[in-house]
Structure 1
Amino acid sequence: MADKYKGKGLRILAFPCNQFGGQEPGTHQEIIEFTKTFDPDMPEKLEFFEKGDVNGANTREVFGFLKHTLPNDDGTTGIRWNFAKFLVDHEGKPYKRFSPQIAPNDMVVDIDELLNKRSSPN
């Protein structure tokens, strides 16, 4: 995904979280090193933030905003599992929320739509 849209304006922000079955117990550096097992250039392709909470009293501010703006289909706001995804336009407006079961490649139509809006004259 990062390779496909390199140079077109897509930025992928990664927010590690250990609230889902303890799947990310490592330090920031350990998480970065682990991603290299999938792609040695992953740390350069994604923007990694320090590990933090996406639910509960210590929810990162950005996730509080995203969850409130784009609730789940049933109206609840909580992040249910790792790899929930939010698509945000080039002006910072939340556009669409995707469940963890949605693969990044299944988001291509929406990504293309937003990138085309970005490059279109007003």
Structure 2
Amino acid sequence: MSFGCLVRRTLLCGVLSARGLSRTMCAQEVDWESAKSIYDFHATDIDGHDVSLEKYRYAEKGLRILAFPCNQFGKQEPGNSEEIKSFAAGYGVKFDLFSKINVNGEDAHPLWKWMKNQPKGRGTLGNAIKWNFSKFLINKEGQVVKRYSPMDDPFVVEKDLPAYL
């Protein structure tokens, strides 16, 4: 997927899966409902380090894809962090990988609770993430600008990017 020359920061956060390359998103230190943007959250990366998403506010220009494994969809992501990292490396993954989290239910990661609750993060037929490959487009201000279904091809996302880059 080519995104060309990128001018502003945009984040694409989502649940992805390819043999279980399921990915999800971030966590906040305090109450997720008081968050104003994704920059208020933290997440544990695939190597076990705490990462403030504030780091992405100052990231280089362009698109950043953040991927977080999730095993809530047909148990497609049963592996541990090392297995997930090795699997992703086999596909030449260049985006930031985070540790496995839940995206639905009471123990869902706070960032996912927050993103699903945003006006443009709400899904059809309820806010639950329905399956792997659900995606959220986040603008440079850290706001959800669009949610994509698991059936939306990444090229569908690509057509929306110029407005946010």
**For the superposition of Structure 1 and Structure 2, which TM-score range results when normalised by the shorter chain?**
0.7 to 0.9
Counterpart residue identity of residue 66, structure 2: L
Please say if residues 19 and 53 of structure 1, whose CA atoms lie closer than 8 Å, have aligned partners that are also in contact.
Answer: yes
TM-score relative to the length of structure 2: 0.62
Runs of 4+ off more than 4 Å:
2-8
Pairing 1:23-34 to 2, within 5 Å after superposition: 23-34=76-87
2:71 counterpart of 1:22: no
CA apart distance, 1:88: 0.2
The number of equivalent residue pairs is 110
**Which sections of structure 1, spanning at least 5 residues, go unmatched?**
116-122
Q: When you count strand as a share of all residues, which structure comes out higher?
A: 2
CA apart distance, 1:57: 1.0
Answer with 100-109 or 15-24: which moved more.
100-109
Please say if residues 2 and 12 of structure 1, whose CA atoms lie closer than 8 Å, have aligned partners that are also in contact.
Answer: no
Counterpart residue identity of residue 108, structure 1: E
Q: When you count helix as a share of all residues, which structure comes out higher?
A: 1
Bigger relative CO (Cα 8 Å, ≥ 6 apart): 2
Identity of aligned residues (%): 41
Match of 2:108 in 1: 59
The 2-side partners of 1:23 and 1:60 are apart by: 18
Pairing 1:71-110 to 2, within 5 Å after superposition: 71-74=122-125, 76-110=126-160
2:88 counterpart of 1:35: yes
Counterpart residue identity of residue 158, structure 2: V
**Which sections of structure 2, spanning at least 5 residues, go unmatched?**
7-59
Answer with 1-10 or 46-55: which moved more.
1-10
Q: CA RMSD in A?
A: 1.8
